[in-house]
Amino acid sequence: MSEQKLYIAPADPNSRPLKSNIFEYARMTNAQLAPLFPFGKPGSLVASAAAFRSDGLEPGTFHHSNTVEEVAIIFGSNIPNFRVGSIQVGALEHDVTGPPAEYPPAYVVFCIVQRQSETGVQKERIAFHCEKCHNLMHEHHFDSSKWEGDLPILHTISGSEEAAVGFNQSDKVCSKCNHTNEEFPAWRWGWGEYVRRTEICRDAKQSFIEAAGK
């Protein structure tokens, strides 16, 4: 067996070591999948927080496709198939939802770690299917490999918001079975608020920089 030398690259000086308590962060964040740390670039492992609870309201369901892997780490839960401490590797194509409205009182807090592509396009797709016959109703494709400017937006979030808006603005009538689907409750996921607040903070930070330079 030949010896192989392993090489660990030096730390990125622009990515200082940070720590975050997921429970404290998840209770303050405005969106599901909000990144725990302010760093993002090609090749990054983006750790994000999510918190769900069954509270009598339907969470909505959509289909997510990604060209890179996602890993979920369960930090707190009373749901049998989401055991505390378990790690789940998601398929490149998977359904996403929360505990259904009729589910017994349930909750889960977990961290989703999404790997960003080293080079090239990172293709993602959000799709909505008929709740009765599962026929494809609406889909949105986007590239999540880009991290533009200061306070970059995780494109998985902005792309999901664009997909939800597109679906909700359609008539939501299935072309196959003629069923009128319910509107997707995007407000429960908070994606639009995440994008809006990011834009506000970008403008505010720029005004701060300009004021400091006077």
Query: Rounded to an integer, what distance in angstroms lies between the CA atom of residue 111 and that of residue 88?
Result: 10
Task: Check residue 164 and give its pLDDT.
Answer: 98
Domain that holds residue 85: 22-212
Q: Coil, strand, or helix at residue 159?
A: helix
| DSSP letters for 97-126 | ----TTS-S-EEEEEEEEEPPSSS--EEEE
Is residue 16 assigned to a domain? no
Tally of domains in the chain: 1
Is residue 195 assigned to a domain? yes
Task: Check residue 190 and give its pLDDT.
Answer: 96
Q: Are 79 and 116 in contact (CB under 8 A)?
A: no
Task: Check residue 147 and give its pLDDT.
Answer: 82
Return the biggest CA–CA distance within the chain. Answer: 65
Is residue 166 assigned to a domain? yes
Residue 72 has pLDDT above 60, yes or no: yes
Is residue 70 assigned to a domain? yes
Residue 166: pLDDT band (50, 70, 90) is very high
Between the CA of residue 151 and those of 48, 115, 117, 193, what are the distances in Å?
15, 19, 19, 15
Residue 1: pLDDT band (50, 70, 90) is low
Is residue 8 assigned to a domain? no
**Which residues lie across from 40 on neighbouring strands?**
none
Q: Extract the tokens encoding 38.
A: 């302010």
Give the pTM.
0.88
The per-residue pLDDT for range 17-69, each reduced to its tens digit, is 889 999 999 999 989 999 999 877 888 889 999 999 988 888 999 999 999 88
Is residue 134 assigned to a domain? yes
Task: Check residue 84 and give its pLDDT.
Answer: 97
Query: Rounded to an integer, what distance in angstroms lies between the CA atom of residue 187 and that of residue 55?
Result: 15
The per-residue pLDDT for range 110-155, each reduced to its tens digit, is 999 998 888 889 999 999 999 999 999 999 999 998 887 778 889 9
Is residue 7 assigned to a domain? no
CATH of the domain at 114: 2.60.120
The per-residue pLDDT for range 200-210, each reduced to its tens digit, is 999 999 999 99
Task: Check residue 53 and give its pLDDT.
Answer: 92
